[in-house]
Amino acid sequence: MRRIYFIKEPTAYWDNAEFVAFLPKVNGQDELHSKLSEVLRFPDYYGDNWNALYDCLRDFNWIEKEGIVLVHTELPNLPNEDLKVYVDILFDAMQDWKEGEGHYFKVIFPEESETIIIKMKNIK
């Protein structure tokens, strides 16, 4: 199952069967963690760091719907190194969910960010 999508109008994405979280424009790692925690309804114990982000992206026991979709309205404004770490965490979390685990996780980015992410991840 392909779990990353690049679409022209990410804000138009909707599926009633899924929990759809729209990540607005973010500037910097602190704001990224804060907004992710808000839109994905992370538990209070979320630690606002990369390890805690991965852990929460691999849990989702607080969300009833099977499908969890993180929609980026635009690519987060992060230094290249932080953006690479963030994208790596998203990919690792998406790939780690196996069929039958109770949830699936997919990520949507705007079409114009595809080249950047493909170069970063060396994917096709």
What domains can be seen in the chain, in order of their start residue?
4-121 (3.30.370.10)
Per-residue pLDDT at 102: 84
pLDDT digit string (tens) for the chain, length 124 residues: 468 899 999 999 999 999 999 999 999 999 999 999 999 999 999 999 999 999 999 999 999 999 999 999 999 999 999 999 999 999 999 888 888 888 999 999 999 999 989 888 765 4
State both tokens at 22. Answer: 């729209």
- DSSP, collapsed to helix, strand or coil, labels residue 53 as helix
Q: Measured between alpha carbons, how far is 27 from 2 in angstroms, rounded to an integer?
A: 28
How much is the pTM?
Answer: 0.92
Q: Are 67 and 55 in contact (CB under 8 A)?
A: no
Who contacts 80 (Cβ-Cβ below 8 Å, separation ≥6)? none
Q: Which pLDDT score is estimated for 9?
A: 95
Which residues share a beta bridge with 104? Answer: 67
Angle between helices 80-96 and 114-121 (to 10 degrees): 80
**Quick one: pLDDT at residue 122?**
66
Give the model's pLDDT for residue 1: 41
pLDDT for the residue 101 = 83
